[in-house]
């Protein structure tokens, strides 16, 4: 194999590795056969398998939008309920955490605002548009918390 071809292979392999970076794949090994007794039938006709996270996120987005409308009307508690519903569907749905941080900020509970903000920052890390908003949110929480100090 020529050095150029080797480099090409190498680049492709590196790209593949980088693309797979976020998926968890712990070391694997052979799984011994430990099947349970056959007498136990499956309890349902479906078993959970890989969901399309996109559809969950779409549902979470719809709930979050409704929550935002309520929050704009000053209905903080009902809005929080909808953001929580969004998170119960999609636990890594960053905007849900972001708006819950906003809701806690509106309630002047800065420690909870910070806790939800941290989760928002974690889950929105890959989104540059959201990152800017998250940074601004951080500043607002810090300012509000500082202003509330005696």
Interacting residues with another protein (CB under 8 A): 6, 9-11, 13-14, 17, 21-37, 39-40, 42-56, 58-59, 61-63, 70, 75, 77-78, 80-81, 84-85, 87-89, 91-92, 100, 103, 112, 115-116, 118-119, 122, 125
Question: Is the separation of the CB atoms in 87 and 96 below 8 Å?
Answer: yes
In angstroms, rounded to a whole number, what is the distance separating the alpha carbons of residues 107 and 77?
10
Closest approach of another protein to the CB of residue 23, in Å = 6
Q: Which is nearer to another protein, 7 or 143 (CB)?
A: 7
Q: Which is nearer to another protein, 26 or 150 (CB)?
A: 26
Nearest to 101 by CA among 87, 120, 125, 86: 120
> Can you tell me the distance from the alpha carbon of 81 to that of 87, in angstroms, rounded to the nearest whole number?
10
Could you tell me the smallest distance in angstroms from the CB atom of residue 51 to another protein? 4
Min dist CB 132 to another protein, Å, is 17
For residue 35, give every residue at least 6 positions away whose Cβ sits within 8 Å of its Cβ, in sequence order, or none.
Answer: none
CB contact set of 61 (below 8 Å; sequence gap of 6+): 86, 93, 95
Q: Decide whether 55 or 132 has the Cβ nearer to another protein.
A: 55
* Nearer of residues 50 and 150 to another protein, judged by Cβ: 50
């Amino acid at each position: 194999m020529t050095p150029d071809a080797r480099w090409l292979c190498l680049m492709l392999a590196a790209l593949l590795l980088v693309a797979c970076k976020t998926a968890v794949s712990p070391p694997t090994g052979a799984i011994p056969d430990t099947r349970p007794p056959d007498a136990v039938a499956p309890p349902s006709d479906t078993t959970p398998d890989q969901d399309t996270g996109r559809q969950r996120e779409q549902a979470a987005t719809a709930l979050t939008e409704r929550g935002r409308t309520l929050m704009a009307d000053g209905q903080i508690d009902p809005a929080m309920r909808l953001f929580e519903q969004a998170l119960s569907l999609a636990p890594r749905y960053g905007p849900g955490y972001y708006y819950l941080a906003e809701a806690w900020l509106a309630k002047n509970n800065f420690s909870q605002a910070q806790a939800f903000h941290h989760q928002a920052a974690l889950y929105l890390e890959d989104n540059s548009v959201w990152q800017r908003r998250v940074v601004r949110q951080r500043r607002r929480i810090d300012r509000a918390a500082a202003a509330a100090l005696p």
